[in-house]
Amino acid sequence: MAAATRPGAAPAEARAPRARRVLPAEVRTDHLISAAADLFIAQGLEATTVDDIVARAGVAKGTFYHYFATKADVLVALRERFSQDFAARAAAAIEAVPDTDHPARFNAWLRAAVSTYLANFRLHDVVFHDFTHDRRRSREKDMVIGQLAALLEAGQEAGAWNLPNARAAALVLFDGMHGVVDDAIAAGQLDPAPLCGMLEQMLGRILVR
């Protein structure tokens, strides 16, 4: 005897199977990285487990291990994403300024760098917590320093300033900015405007011919 169907319901064989939503790999990894970032900030790196991350991302644990071998691998990916975002924001600010106005392009980089760092310092502190003196060079920092060094080299070639070494100058300027912003964060001063004004005046003097 055939099973009864509800009035108006389509026969089982006529109903289309529900399509399974498959997200691209980059979307899945982004969800996992974002979930990890939120948890690392909220409860700390050590306290956060893989179970916490997959629960926050809403995926199976097997999905995590398909893309990452360990929690440390997520931290590496998060560190790279942080640096890429930092560099992308700076690049957008620089490109909004005429390529012949080198001081203004440096100031655009500076404002973008300060604003981005202040807005994301809690995440920065998580992802770069283990950067000690035995790790003086990293691909992530080189990405940022290389961007600033290229900006300084362009100004050097155009005669905007006279620097003995563009990379050395980039390191001085970047680390100087970093130190001033760290001090402001410690003092609870999170408004980028006064910091940018002060840094533009001080660091700009380094670039004067």
pTM check: above 0.75: yes
Cα Rg, the chain, nearest whole Å: 24
What pLDDT sits at residue 17? Answer: 47
Q: What CATH architecture is 22-69?
A: Orthogonal Bundle (1.10)
**Is the predicted pLDDT of residue 189 greater than 80, yes or no?**
yes
Closest residue by Cα to residue 43 from 65, 67, 62, 71: 71
**Is the predicted pLDDT of residue 1 greater than 60, yes or no?**
no
Residue 99, φ and ψ in degrees, nearest 5 = -75, 0
CATH topology of domain 75-207: Tetracycline Repressor; domain 2 (1.10.357)
How far is it between the farthest Cα atoms of the chain? 96
Q: Where are the domains of the chain?
A: 22-69, 75-207
- pLDDT tens per residue across span 114-163: 999 999 999 999 888 765 544 556 788 899 999 999 999 999 999 999 99
**8-state DSSP, 151:** H
pLDDT averaged over the chain? Answer: 87
Could you give the 3-state DSSP secondary structure of residue 102?
Answer: helix
Instruction: Supply 11's token pair.
Output: 């026969």
**Is the predicted pLDDT of residue 10 greater than 80, yes or no?**
no
**Is the predicted pLDDT of residue 3 greater than 80, yes or no?**
no
Alpha-carbon distances, residue 18 vs 15, 21, 52, 208 (angstroms): 9, 9, 29, 66
